[in-house]
A and B are shown apart, each in its own frame.
Chain A
Amino acid sequence: MSRKAVITGIGILTAIGGNLQEYWNSLCRGVCGIGEVTLFDTSGYHGKLAAEIKGLDPPGKRLSRCDVIGLIAWDEAANNSGFRSINIPPERIGICMGSGSGGLLSAEVFRRQAIKTGKGRPGLLIPFATYAFTDLLSLKAGIRGPKATISTACSSSSTAIGLSAEWIRQGLCDAVITGGSESLSETTFAGFNSLRAVDEVPCRPFDRERKGISLGEGAAIIIVEELNHALKRGAKMYAEITGYGIAGDAYHVTAPEPEGTGIVRAIEMAMKDSGCKSEEIQYINAHGTGTPANDLAETNAIKSFFGERAYSIPVSSTKSMIGHCLGAAGAIEAVAAILPFIKGVLPPTANYKNSDPECDLDYIPEPRKMCPETVLSMSVAFGGNNTALILRRIEQ
């Protein structure tokens, strides 16, 4: 019998919620967490806002803000999955995380110290690498199995979730810790501003007036487990990860391919991987950054893949509430995509007001009651890295 991968634990921290229930409640109400930034001075930028997590303690020695956010999410995931008493040999537990900029915020402090005094505090560099949080979490969780970190900017953790499910399905692991953690940093804030890709107001995905992204930060840590093992121990199951697909645009280093052909290839691979038919998809959690180019390319891809049916599939972008959490975005949004399985509500596209003749799908500006069986979560990144993740409801 073929092995299946199911989600048995979720921990999450974003600007709109300190835990899973808060996050889901905020999504159900369309709460927007995008506002002023207190971590650093943003007064000199065109786009000044972001979805910052407020009230976090500053990182301790040898830790980054990314580590701090991720460990809070991990703690919740470990608790609600019963991970700490799970009966799986540690060699059969893997870890596969997505990360965009890792502990860059700490490296920035190091750099400023080095410029000012000629010497930075070395401990600030320990959490710098993109893979550093993966190593920290594997230490905290006592992992002895395979370990990997995907770093494809904005689609990193989406691919990581897909790969975790693959490890389970191919028999490499019986459980995998996956997801991603990302903190704001001045470099990414300045970077997206330098590309003129940041909106002055909270981002408005798919809206005719949309001008760009709003950055965000957060973490989602997800426990993926082999179905029979989860059944045997009576674990709570949030969803099945049936498959994923990845494809490169081969087009441009920052701009998406306008017709969305790379996104379509990612969806096609996900369909093939999961043995799913296109008519089964009932809701799409879009990447929906709020840039004119991304939202159009994604809309075009949905129309191209689903044909006429595209107009009857609800599509939403939760970035309108949590901002663009880069390397953690895919995982945070996968958790939004399974919200309807648990609460029977589709998360809305907040801030959506004006319909765009080119983006003419059903973007659900308000939360909507619906209980889909199968959903698609899409991620699109810089460099043309597209990921499609297919999640299915599990009868409890």
Chain B
Amino acid sequence: MIAITGIGIVSAYGVGKDAFLSGAIKGTGIGLIEHFNTEPYSVRNGGCVKDFVPKLYIPPMKARRMSRFSQLALVSALEAWKDSSFKENYDTSEIGIIVGTGLGSVSSTDSFYVGLLKRGPQETNPMIFPETVQNIAAAHISIELGFGGPNTTFSEAAIAGENALFYACGLLKNDMARAVLVTGADELTEPLLGGMDALRVFSKSDKSRPFDIMRDGLLPGEGACTLMLERKEDAIKRDAHIYGEILSFGFSSEPVQRLNYSSSGAMADAIKSALINESPELIIASANSTKELDIREALAIRDTLGRNVPVTAITSLTGFFMSSGVMKAGAAMLFIEKGVIPPIWGLGKPEIDGLRYVLKTEGLKIRTALVNGFSHGGSNVCIFLRGIN
């Protein structure tokens, strides 16, 4: 079994897992987007990491050269590494770094290209170009922490984090690493918001309300979460704090157009294949306040798990970002550890009845959770986790 022994979160609630949990149970992290001008676009609200001062965590000269994507990812990785209290002698080449991201740093690609258009081929900025590749965050993490183990980056729609976690578990099971830091990170910057707006995915009412009958599109978010993973026996041997373990994954996909979701039946297949003989006690849903996804996910949950399993949705806390799977898994561990579940903020009247939606912050003693990753493009990944409470 694979144990989770460190959690680092940078979210709309600020830096740190404690800030995340204490904020999440009080209210949504979504609010006015302030780090760029949203005037030209159709939404004002999003789940931005506010008051983020990277140089508090990263040497200032290095932080200045990094994209927001790299900064968010690196700070979450530093937090998770610290949280893991990994101290004994270790070989730096035995620690892996696996990152999942939706689009990496679109702002770097955009500013490099706009610089080229404005100033011509001889005046482009060579400092920005490296930040345009998706694997740049994993590079920074490996350089800052000095870890030369297995290193790769998954760039996916909304299953980037889930795929990164699955891959990291495989590395540990095959004994290709002693420990792996798994990061899911995405930035919210103006060109990304502009692009998503052009594709008309945003809420017309500027509100995020997963599963609600009135929902009318998503609100964008950003953030990063890193989990430290080790084989359970290794974690026990070093007397690590174990949040919980990753039990199993389930996959499915369906051939659909690139912006569409799979059917609820395919989503149900992913849920069923992740759960072996056991029902979860909590579901961290994928629902993102879009018309298409939420209804299908609700039906998939109702058809597979019935009406009694509490359902909450992280997108109501942080807004939508593609690599949120790692944060969903980290959040599940924190909710189980503290015995408290934040609600689906913004949900008033559900479209699909008969699910046990968490509507206000609840104290619940639970041990297991299911993380749903249902993405546009038709791919689905579910993760079944067990916490230690």
5 residue pairs, one from A and one from B, having the closest CB atoms: A248-B151, A383-B139, A151-B155, A135-B377, A151-B134
A170 and B142 CA atoms in complex are apart in Å by 28
B269: A residues at CB distance < 8 A? 91
Q: How far is the CB of A43 from chain B (nearest CB, A)?
A: 9
What residue in chain A is nearest B195 (Cβ atoms)? A125
Contact, CB under 8 Å: A146 / B253: yes
Q: Does A56 sit within 8 A of B, measured CB to CB?
A: no
Q: How far is the CB of B168 from chain A (nearest CB, A)?
A: 12
Q: Does A65 sit within 8 A of B, measured CB to CB?
A: no
- From 238 to 260 in chain B, residues with beta carbon under 8 angstroms from any chain A beta carbon are 251-259
What residue in chain B is nearest A387 (Cβ atoms)? B152
**With contacts A248-B139, A273-B176 known, is A150 near B150, CB below 8 A?**
no
What residue in chain B is nearest A253 (Cβ atoms)? B130
**With contacts A112-B117, A269-B150, A269-B176 known, is A194 near B143, CB below 8 A?**
no
Q: Does B71 sit within 8 A of A, measured CB to CB?
A: no
**With contacts A100-B133, A111-B113 known, is A144 near B152, CB below 8 A?**
no
Q: Does A128 sit within 8 A of B, measured CB to CB?
A: yes
A140 and B378 CA atoms in complex are apart in Å by 13
What residue in chain B is nearest A269 (Cβ atoms)? B176
Contact, CB under 8 Å: B199 / A252: no
Q: How far is the CB of A68 from chain B (nearest CB, A)?
A: 15
Residues of B within 8 A of A (CB): 92-93, 96-97, 101-104, 109-110, 112-114, 116-117, 120-122, 124-126, 129-130, 132-136, 138-140, 142-143, 145-157, 159, 163, 167, 170, 174, 176, 194-195, 198-200, 251-259, 266, 269, 377-379, 381
Q: Does A311 sit within 8 A of B, measured CB to CB?
A: no
**With contacts A143-B253, A265-B93 known, is A382 near B114, CB below 8 A?**
no
Q: Mark A305-328, 1 if CB is under 8 A from B, else 0.
A: 000000000000000000000000
Contact, CB under 8 Å: A150 / B152: yes
A195 and B381 CA atoms in complex are apart in Å by 39
A108: B residues at CB distance < 8 A? 113
A141 and B119 CA atoms in complex are apart in Å by 43
From A129, A252, A269, residue with most partner B Cβ within 10 Å: A129
Contact, CB under 8 Å: B136 / A146: no
A383 and B105 CA atoms in complex are apart in Å by 14
A322 and B170 CA atoms in complex are apart in Å by 34
B145: A residues at CB distance < 8 A? 250
Contact, CB under 8 Å: B139 / A44: no
Q: Does A152 sit within 8 A of B, measured CB to CB?
A: yes
From A132, A135, A190, residue with most partner B Cβ within 10 Å: A135
Please name 7 further chain A to chain B contacts, defined as beta carbons within 8 Å, in addition to the given A111-B117, A193-B124, sorted by A numbering. A44-B122, A125-B199, A139-B257, A149-B154, A151-B101, A247-B150, A384-B139
Contact, CB under 8 Å: B258 / A126: yes
Contact, CB under 8 Å: B198 / A120: yes
**With contacts A122-B199, A247-B93 known, is A254 near B253, CB below 8 A?**
no
A14 and B377 CA atoms in complex are apart in Å by 27
Contact, CB under 8 Å: B259 / A139: no
11 A-B pairs with C-beta separation under 8 A = A44-B122, A129-B102, A129-B103, A138-B379, A142-B255, A166-B170, A190-B113, A191-B112, A247-B149, A248-B148, A383-B139
Contact, CB under 8 Å: B253 / A253: no
B129: A residues at CB distance < 8 A? 190-192, 194-195
Contact, CB under 8 Å: A385 / B151: yes
A265: B residues at CB distance < 8 A? 93, 148-149
Q: Find B139's partner among A186, A192, A385 (CB 8 Å cutoff).
A: A385
Contact, CB under 8 Å: B112 / A136: no
Contact, CB under 8 Å: B153 / A152: yes
B251: A residues at CB distance < 8 A? 94, 145-147, 172
A114 and B117 CA atoms in complex are apart in Å by 12
A249 and B149 CA atoms in complex are apart in Å by 8
A132 and B163 CA atoms in complex are apart in Å by 16
Contact, CB under 8 Å: B155 / A250: no
A149 and B375 CA atoms in complex are apart in Å by 13
A135 and B227 CA atoms in complex are apart in Å by 27
Contact, CB under 8 Å: B121 / A125: no
Q: Find B156's partner among A141, A149, A163 (CB 8 Å cutoff).
A: A149
Q: Does A262 sit within 8 A of B, measured CB to CB?
A: yes
Q: Does A1 sit within 8 A of B, measured CB to CB?
A: no
A134 and B102 CA atoms in complex are apart in Å by 13
Q: How far is the CB of B152 from chain A (nearest CB, A)?
A: 5
B154: A residues at CB distance < 8 A? 148-151
Contact, CB under 8 Å: A193 / B134: no
B170: A residues at CB distance < 8 A? 166, 170
B157: A residues at CB distance < 8 A? 129, 131, 135
Q: Does A381 sit within 8 A of B, measured CB to CB?
A: yes
Q: Mark A176-196, 1 if CB is under 8 A from B, else 0.
A: 000000000011001111111
**With contacts A104-B109, A111-B110, A144-B255 known, is A130 near B151, CB below 8 A?**
no
Q: Find B199's partner among A126, A142, A250 (CB 8 Å cutoff).
A: A126
**With contacts A91-B252, A152-B153, A253-B140 known, is A382 near B117, CB below 8 A?**
no
Contact, CB under 8 Å: B126 / A250: no
B159: A residues at CB distance < 8 A? 147
A99 and B103 CA atoms in complex are apart in Å by 12
